Amino acid sequence: MNTWTFSLILSLGLLGRLAAAAPTLSYNSEIRSALRHLERSQIQERGAYDPGQWPTTVTSLRLPALVGVGRWGKPYEEATVFTTASIVDILKDMHREAPELEIIPALVEKAEAGFAPYHVGPFFNFYPLRKRNGVWVRGPRRFKIPRFFLGLAHIPPDADTTSVTYMALRAPLPEPVIQAFSRFRDVERKPHFYNRDAGNINTGAFLTWLMDETDPSMPRRYWSPEAGARVPFGRNDVDCIVNANVLKLLTYHQLTQVPGYQDSCRLLETAIRKEDYGYCGIYYPTDYLLALRIGELKELGAVCLRAQEPEVLRYLLRTQAPEGSWSNVRPNDPDPIQSTALAVNALMLLGDKENPVHRRSVSRGVHYLLTHSARDAKGNLYWHGQVYFSAIALARHTVLWRSTSYTTALAAQALLRAQSFLNPARP
């Protein structure tokens, strides 16, 4: 063996040992700390919330507050299955990826035990039941609504809450739910003004409310919730995130032939092509939740939006700020913590861990999250809640829901994904 060959063998061996000795990036302590915060913040007794739920607050601003819908800027505690189901979905994905996170199953079990009051037959309702004038109605427990608007809060089951809750349960999907998704679609109907202005007319996509808006027996008044459930202001709507949530559920159950599935895909394709990320969701004034849903659909094996995945990835890379954050564009609230948690999760699902540009972007996003975290009274890590969803189109930027627990779960999931995405590949 000549000297050159011997030197090469020694060099390769040294490089191999150095690679093997490279430190493994770990956010394990931060992830466990965030999960302990979720354990501490999970509701134990019924009051403003139901046991097992995580806190959500709703705040009213401007015109709604001026007419008595809430008090300007005051956060009201809001009992809803929707936020808790969203967190359960995240936690189950985390536990699938990291079974050693043994705290998760107990959190999930407590949360799911509180889903029952939100059942409406095989569907789920956003609001819990309460009794008014001897009649069971749906509506908020604490949020202040004037008497002449009370009827608007008695809403029917919706595709969004139903799909998100069933996705969290990972349970078999009842046939009536599948049929309802297919029945309540944007076909041969007068469009909602928000959809009309966006050019989304007769899209064939899934509607938000699982109720016939043309039914003459549906109450049309804004007051008297005792008259029965009704679609707000009598007009159903098409929301891109609601459609993405339904697509996620149907894809999980391999129900891609359900009528409306391909139409819903085309709705999202149009939103991506037009870069309507922050506008296409009536109930979601955020620029990055659609990107995350596209990444989740990819992970579940959806093929109908495969061609749009590179476009979404380019959008994520292009809109990241130099310090590593992402922020919404006005009129949406900037919400850099929530936006960064959404965007960095989406980037890891759509990006390539071997691509140095993608890795640097993820690393900067994670660094931003870590440097903008907080500690609770027990020293556990959490992230302040920013806007998750909003009210109807007329109050899209003025009646807003936030959840520190949801934002914390998103950030913890980003840290868990980053451990895999940023760690060097082992030979």
- Are 292 and 298 in contact by the 8 Å Cβ rule? The answer is no
For the segment 375-420, what is each residue's pLDDT rounded down to a tens digit? 999 999 999 999 999 999 999 999 999 999 999 999 999 999 999 9
For the segment 262-314, what is each residue's pLDDT rounded down to a tens digit? 999 999 999 999 999 999 999 999 999 999 999 999 999 999 999 999 999 99
For the segment 1-51, what is each residue's pLDDT rounded down to a tens digit? 444 443 433 333 433 443 344 568 899 999 999 999 999 999 999 999 999
User: What local confidence, expressed as pLDDT, does residue 5 receive?
Assistant: 42
Q: What is the mean pLDDT of the chain?
A: 93
- Are 362 and 347 in contact by the 8 Å Cβ rule? The answer is yes
The ranges assigned to domains in the chain are 24-422
Q: What percent of the chain has pLDDT over 90?
A: 90
Task: Report helix, strand or coil for 347.
Answer: helix
How far is 152 from 57, CA to CA, in rounded Å?
A: 19
For the segment 129-175, what is each residue's pLDDT rounded down to a tens digit? 988 899 999 999 999 999 989 999 999 999 999 999 999 999 999 99
User: What local confidence, expressed as pLDDT, does residue 23 receive?
Assistant: 63
> What are 287's two structure tokens?
């620029």
How far is 291 from 171, CA to CA, in rounded Å?
A: 25
Task: Give 222-234 as a DSSP string.
Answer: SS-GGG----GGG
- Are 120 and 61 in contact by the 8 Å Cβ rule? The answer is no
Residue 119, beta-bridge partner list: 124
Give burial (CB, 10 Å; 0-12/13-18/19+) of 15. exposed
Q: What is the CATH number of domain 24-422?
A: 1.50.10.20
What's the whole-model pTM score?
0.93
Query: Which of 195-199, 222-226, 394-398 has the weakest average pLDDT?
Result: 222-226
pLDDT over threshold 90, residue 427: no
Backbone φ and ψ of 102, nearest 5°: -70, -10
- Tell me which residue has tokens 């008297």: 224
CB atoms near residue 98 (< 10 Å): 15
pLDDT over threshold 70, residue 91: yes
| Closest to 264 measured CA to CA, from 176, 179, 181, 169 | 181
| Closest to 211 measured CA to CA, from 125, 293, 90, 151 | 125
User: What local confidence, expressed as pLDDT, does residue 22 receive?
Assistant: 52
CB contact burial 240-278 (16+ within 10 A = b; e otherwise): bbbbbbbbbbbbbbeeeebebbebbbebbebbbeeebbb
Task: Write out 107-166 in H/E/C secondary structure.
Answer: HHHHHHCCCHHHEECCEECCCCEEEECCEEEECCCCCCCCHHHHHHHCCCCEHHHHHHHH
User: What local confidence, expressed as pLDDT, does residue 303 receive?
Assistant: 97
